[in-house]
Structure 1
Amino acid sequence: MGETKRTVAELMLDQLSLFGVKRIYGVVGDASFGLIDALAKQDKIKFIAVKHESTAAFMASAEAKLTGKLGVCTATMGPGATNLMNGLGDAHADKAPVLAITGQAPSNKIGTEFPQYIDQQELMKPFASYSANLTSPDATIELLHKAVQTSLGQRVVTHLSIPKDIFMMAAKGKPRSLPNIIEGSAHFTKESLEQATAIMKTAKRPMILAGAGAASASEELEKLADLWGAGILASLGGKGVFDESSPHVLQGIGEGGNPYASDLFKQADVVLLAGTTWWPEGYVPTDARIIHIDCHFDKFVKSIPVEIGITGKTEEVIPLLTDSLQGFSLSEDWIASCQEIKEKWAQQNEQEGNTEGYPYHPSRIIRALDRTVAADAVLALDTGDNTVWTNRNFKQKNQTVLVSGYWRTMGFGLPAAMAAKLIKPEKQVVAIVGDGGLQMVLADLLTATRYNLNITVVVLNNEALQMERDKLKVADKKEVGVDLTNPDFVKVAEACGWKGLRAESETELEALLEEALNTNAPTLVDIKTAQVFFPETN
C-alpha cells in the first residue's frame, strides 16, 4: 500500500501532531503560505494568530515551561524570523524546549539579494542548539525528528527554515513516533550516592536551594529538610513549588527574596541545589560544599562552585539521599536560626502588605493578590518592579509561577498568561505586569479577545520604568527616559473587547480584584502604584 501524497507542510503537521503538538503560535507571512494553507485544512493543531512574532515565541516558551513538552512557533522570513528572537532568547535562557519553524526565500533565491533574505542558520546561532534549512522534501521527517528530539532531550531551542516553494512540494515519508525512552532510577543506589551523603553528613549548617525543576519533588525535599535540619530557599522560578507555611521554607533568595535569608545562607557549610541553576552573586556562601542535582550538566555554563554533581531527576535522587541520612544528628542552633529569620520576615512581610496610602504601595497590591487569587492559580510575571515585589511579598501556596528567569525580558507576562489559559482552561490565570512591560505587547490584548481567553491582567501603573530609575539612583547617574507616557489602560482594554477596572480608593482593592477574578472574560485591572524605591536595589 503506497504512502498518501502530502505536501511538506502537511507532512510536518501530521508529524508534529503525532509528537503531541496542539498549538502553533505565529503571524501569517507569504514565505510560510504553504504551512498556513496546511494548518487551515486540518483541525488537530490549532494556529494561534498573534499580533507580533515575539508574542508567538513567548507563548511557545511559556507552554514549554508550563508543560515540559514542546512549544512551537512560526514566522515568515526576514523580519518575521528576527521578531521571534526575543522569545527564543527567553526559551534558550530558561531551558524550555521550543521549535521555531520559519519560511525562507524560494530555494532558487537563497543566497541572493532576494527581498527579506537572511541566512537564518547564522541568525539563530546564539539561541538554537540545532538549526537546519530543508533543501529536499524527502528529508522532512528526518530533520523534524532531529529538531524535536534535540529540543526535548536537551531542553533547548531548535529551528527549521523551509523555503517557500518547498513547503508546497509533494513529500515522501511517513510520520513516526519519537523513541520511547525508558527513564528510571535503577542506576541510582545508596552506594552510588555515598560521596554526596558523606558530605551531607558533615553539615552543621545545611541549606537547600530549589527551583522549578524540583516541582515534582517538593514533598520529598521537605522530608529531607526535616531529617537534615535544613532551611529551604527558592529561586524566583521555584516560587510556588513549596507552600509558604511549610516550617522549613524561608521564601526566596536574591533580589526580592527574604531580606534576612542571605546573611544566614552565607553561613551555610553544605548546600544542596535541586532543580535550579540560580546562584545569585552577593547572596550566597563563598566556601560552602555544594551538591547539585540536575539532568543536564552538559548544558551548564554558570559558574557555580559545585563539588558533587548528580545527573538525574530530583524526584529520583532525593528519597535515596533521605534514606542515607537516617539518624543524622541535627544542629538545634541552626534550626533555631532558620526559624528565627522565617518568623522575623513573616512579621515584617505582613506589615509591609498592610501599608496604607494611595497610590497603593506595591507591597499592598501584592498582598491583595495574595488574599484573592486561587490557591492553584497560574501566575505569569512580567519583568520589572512587579517581579521583585511579587517575589518579596506574595505568600505562595500551590500556585504555578511563569517568569522570564534568566533572559528577564519585559513583555513576557501577557503572552505567558494567554498560553497558560489555552493549556489549562480550567485554571485561574493572572498576569502581574508593570505598565512598561504591558505596553511592549499591548496589541496582543486583542489575541486574548480573539480566542476568548478568560485571564486577568493586573497592571502596576506607576508611570515609570521604576526598576531602572532605582538602579540609576544607586549608580548616582542622571536619568532620562524612565518616565512613561501611558494611555488610559481601562479605555484601551475596553476598546480591545476586555472588561476594564480601575482601583481608585484605598479600601476597594480586594473587592475590585475579586470582581476581576470572577469575571468570565478577559479583564484588566489598572492599579495606580506609588513610585517606591525597592529596598534591595543594587
Structure 2
Amino acid sequence: MKQENRQVAELILDQLKLFGVKRIYGVVGDTIIGLIDAIAEQNDIQFIAVKHESAAAFMASAEAKLTGRLAVCTATMGPGATNLLNGLGDAYADRAPVLAITGQAPRNKIGTEFQQYIDQQELMKPFAAYSANLASQDAIIDLMHKAAQTSLGQRAVSHISIPKDLFNMTTDAAPRPLPAVIEGVSTFEPNSLEQAVHIMQSAQQPMILAGAGAMEVSEEIKELSELWGAGILTSLGGKGLIDASFPNLLGGIGEGGNPHAPEVFKEADVVLMIGATWWPEGYVPKNARIIQIDKNLQNVEKSIPTELGIAGEAGEVLPQLKKRLSTFSANTEWLARCHEVRDRWEAQNEQEGSQSGSPVHPARIARALECTVAEDAILALDTGDLTVWMNRNFRPSGQTVLFSGYWRTLGFGLPAAIAAKLEQPEKQVIAVVGDGGLQMTLADLLTATRYGLNITVVLFNNGSLQMERDKIKAADEKEVGVELTNPDFVKVAEACGWQGFRVESDTELEAALEKAFLANQPTFVDVYTEQAFFPETK
C-alpha cells in the first residue's frame, strides 16, 4: 500500500524515534517553528526549552557521553546556529554522537542578503563530520540516516540545516531503522597479538594508562594489572573508572592528578594505553615501549610515540592478553614501588582534604563531596579551578563523572547535570561548578525548575577566575579581569525556585550537602571558597 504523504517535520520526529532519541534540546526560533509545531503534536520526543543555544548543545553532548546514544539539539538560523558552536565543540572534542538540526532561510533566499543568512555548512565545518542542507523534501530520510550513521559510527557531530519552507512540505518518504550491525566479538586471534604479548612479557616495570575509552573494561584492567604487576594511572577522562580503593591504582595524571606519579611513570619500561590518547608534558617515559589500544585508528599515536597500535575494542583485546600473560612472573619490587607512591599520595591527599577554616579550602569541599554523595551518583564538573581540585582530591567509589575533556569549556557543568537528570531521573545528580563557569549558564537554573529536576549545584565561590589567576601568578605577570562581580547566588537560586544553602565554614559543609541531597527539589549549595593557589600550576 502506498505510503501516505507526511510533512518533513513529522518525518524527522518519526525517524528520530527509530534512532532511539528521547528528547531534543533547543531554543524556539522563527525558522524551526514547523519542527516545534510537530513536536507539540506528539508525545514520544520531548522538547527541552533552554535559555541559550550553547546550553542546548552542552546538554546534547552530555547526554551522548552518558549514554553512547545519538543526542539531538536544535536552533534557528544565524545567531541560533552560531550559539550552538561551543557545545558542539565539546561534543566534537570528546567524540560524543550529537546531531544538530538547524533552521535555514527559505530556499529562494539561500545565498542572498536575507537577514540572518549564513552558509551553515561552512559554519559547522570545523566540528561536524557530516553537514548537509536539505534541498528537497524527498531527501530528508536519506540525510538523517547519513547523519546518524556518521555520528554513531565515528562518535562525531553531524548537522542538517533545513530551509524554513521545507518543514511543512509533504513527501512519501518513509522512516526506516538504521541497518543492524553485527560487531565481531573475540575477533583477535591469539597469534594476531603476538607482538603485543612479546613486548608486555619484556616488561620489568609496566604501567597501564586508562582513559575515557576504557569505561567498559574496568574489571579487565584490574585483572590485567594484577597478572602483569602493573601500576594504573588514569586520565581525567578515566576518573571513576577504577575504584579508588584498588591497591594498584596510583591515581590520576596531569593537573590535579597524583603529584608523585611522574617520578614512577618515568621509570616505566612498557606502557599499555587503553582508551587514552594523551599524557601531559613531564610524564613521558623516555625509554618506554608503548602499546596503544583504541577502537579508532585515528587516535593511535595522536600525540604519543607509540611503538604498537591495536585498533579494536578493549573488551576484545584484554581477555586475549590476560590469557597469554597468565604465567607471567610479575616484578614484586616494582609493584611495591608503585604502592609506595600510592601510599605517599594517599597520606598527603587525606591531609589536604582535612583542612579546616573559613573560607573553605577547595580540597576540603572535594573531600566533603566524596563522603556524602551516593555511590552511583552522577557528578557533572564544570571547567576551571574546581576541576583540578576535584581531580586531585575526590576519590570516586563508583560515581560517574561528566566533564568537558579536550574542549575544556566554562559553562558545561549545569547543563550537563540537567541532561543527566532527564536521562537518569533515579540517580543523584550534582553539578560541581565555579562562580565563573556558572555565570555563563546561570539562566538555566530556571530550566531545572521548569522540568522539576531535583539536581544539586555545589558552587566553589571564590570570587575570581582562580585558575587563570594562578597561571598569571606562576608566570609572574600582571593580572586584570580575573576578579568576578558576583551576585548573592543563594538569593538568585531562591528567586528561580531552588532551595538555597550558604556555607561559610568547613564545619557546616557535610550537613548542608546532606540536606541538599535529601531535598525533593533543585538545591543550591553556595560554598565560600578560599582562593587557594593550586600547587602544580605551570
TM-score, length basis structure 1: 0.99
How far is 1:331 from its partner? 1.2
Query: Secondary structure of 1:129's match?
Result: strand
How far is 1:315 from its partner? 1.4
In the alignment, what sits opposite 1:487? Answer: 487
Asked if the contact 2:277/2:299 (under 8 Å) is kept, the reply is no
Q: Which amino acid aligns with 1:325?
A: L
In the alignment, what sits opposite 1:9? Answer: 9
Q: Which amino acid aligns with 1:340?
A: E
Q: Which amino acid aligns with 1:43?
A: N
Of stretches 111-120 and 301-310 in structure 1, the one that deviates more from structure 2 is 301-310
Q: Does 1:376 align with 2:376?
A: yes
Return the alpha-carbon distance in structure 2 between the equivalents of residues 158 and 275 of structure 1. Answer: 23
How far is 1:311 from its partner? 1.2
Query: Secondary structure of 2:117's match?
Result: coil
The equivalences for 1:493-512 within 5 A come to: 493-512=493-512
Asked if the contact 1:64/1:98 (under 8 Å) is kept, the reply is yes
Asked if the contact 2:103/2:162 (under 8 Å) is kept, the reply is yes
In the alignment, what sits opposite 1:109? Answer: 109
**Deviation digits for residues 332-370 of structure 1, max 9, x if unmatched?**
221011000111111110011111110000111110000
Asked if the contact 1:140/1:171 (under 8 Å) is kept, the reply is no
Return the alpha-carbon distance in structure 1 between the equivalents of residues 399 and 348 of structure 2. Answer: 22
Q: CA RMSD in A?
A: 0.9
Asked if the contact 1:503/1:512 (under 8 Å) is kept, the reply is yes
In the alignment, what sits opposite 1:348? Answer: 348
**Deviation digits for residues 213-254 of structure 1, max 9, x if unmatched?**
211110111000000000111111111111000011111011
Return the alpha-carbon distance in structure 2 between the equivalents of residues 500 and 152 of structure 1. Answer: 40
Return the alpha-carbon distance in structure 2 between the equivalents of residues 341 and 506 of structure 1. Answer: 29
Q: Does 1:239 align with 2:232?
A: no
Number of positions where the alignment pairs a residue of Structure 1 with one of Structure 2: 538
Asked if the contact 2:378/2:401 (under 8 Å) is kept, the reply is yes
Return the alpha-carbon distance in structure 1 between the equivalents of residues 383 and 14 of structure 2. Answer: 36
**Deviation digits for residues 269-315 of structure 1, max 9, x if unmatched?**
11111112132222232331111111111356832111111111111
**Deviation digits for residues 406-449 of structure 1, max 9, x if unmatched?**
00000000000000000100000011100000000000000000
How far is 1:4 from its partner? 2.2
The equivalences for 1:286-435 within 5 A come to: 286-298=286-298, 302-435=302-435
**Deviation digits for residues 516-538 of structure 1, max 9, x if unmatched?**
11111110100000000000101
The equivalences for 1:37-48 within 5 A come to: 37-48=37-48
Query: Secondary structure of 2:237's match?
Result: helix
Q: Does 1:70 align with 2:52?
A: no
Query: Secondary structure of 1:175's match?
Result: coil
Return the alpha-carbon distance in structure 2 between the equivalents of residues 57 and 363 of structure 1. Answer: 31
How far is 1:187 from its partner? 2.1
Query: Secondary structure of 1:507's match?
Result: helix
Q: Which amino acid aligns with 2:29?
A: G
Return the alpha-carbon distance in structure 2 between the equivalents of residues 42 and 89 of structure 1. Answer: 31
Asked if the contact 1:92/1:157 (under 8 Å) is kept, the reply is yes
In the alignment, what sits opposite 1:281? Answer: 281
Return the alpha-carbon distance in structure 2 between the equivalents of residues 474 and 96 of structure 1. Answer: 34
In the alignment, what sits opposite 1:223? Answer: 223
Return the alpha-carbon distance in structure 2 between the equivalents of residues 257 and 157 of structure 1. Answer: 30
How far is 1:267 from its partner? 1.1
Of stretches 279-288 and 217-226 in structure 1, the one that deviates more from structure 2 is 279-288
Return the alpha-carbon distance in structure 2 between the equivalents of residues 284 and 486 of structure 1. Answer: 41
Return the alpha-carbon distance in structure 1 between the equivalents of residues 280 and 81 of structure 2. Answer: 33
Change in 2 beyond 3 A, CA 1:147/1:5? same
Return the alpha-carbon distance in structure 2 between the equivalents of residues 506 and 416 of structure 1. Answer: 27
Query: Secondary structure of 1:58's match?
Result: helix
Asked if the contact 1:137/1:172 (under 8 Å) is kept, the reply is no
Q: Does 1:79 align with 2:79?
A: yes
Change in 2 beyond 3 A, CA 1:314/1:142? same
Q: Which amino acid aligns with 2:412?
A: F
Return the alpha-carbon distance in structure 2 between the equivalents of residues 338 and 186 of structure 1. Answer: 32
In the alignment, what sits opposite 1:476? Answer: 476
In the alignment, what sits opposite 1:267? Answer: 267
Query: Secondary structure of 1:316's match?
Result: helix
**Deviation digits for residues 59-108 of structure 1, max 9, x if unmatched?**
00000000011110000000000000000000000000100000000000
In the alignment, what sits opposite 2:172? Answer: 172
**Deviation digits for residues 6-61 of structure 1, max 9, x if unmatched?**
11111011001001000100000001111111111111110000000000000000
Change in 2 beyond 3 A, CA 1:213/1:311? same
Return the alpha-carbon distance in structure 1 between the equivalents of residues 504 and 73 of structure 2. Answer: 39
How far is 1:179 from its partner? 1.2
Q: Which runs of 5+ in 1 are unaligned?
A: none
Asked if the contact 1:209/1:232 (under 8 Å) is kept, the reply is yes
Change in 2 beyond 3 A, CA 1:355/1:412? same
In the alignment, what sits opposite 2:191? Answer: 191
Change in 2 beyond 3 A, CA 1:300/1:310? closer
In the alignment, what sits opposite 1:527? Answer: 527
Query: Secondary structure of 1:130's match?
Result: strand
Return the alpha-carbon distance in structure 1 between the equivalents of residues 526 and 534 of structure 2. Answer: 21
Return the alpha-carbon distance in structure 2 between the equivalents of residues 167 and 300 of structure 1. Answer: 42
Q: Which amino acid aligns with 1:287?
A: N
Query: Secondary structure of 2:507's match?
Result: coil
In the alignment, what sits opposite 2:161? Answer: 161
Query: Secondary structure of 2:48's match?
Result: strand
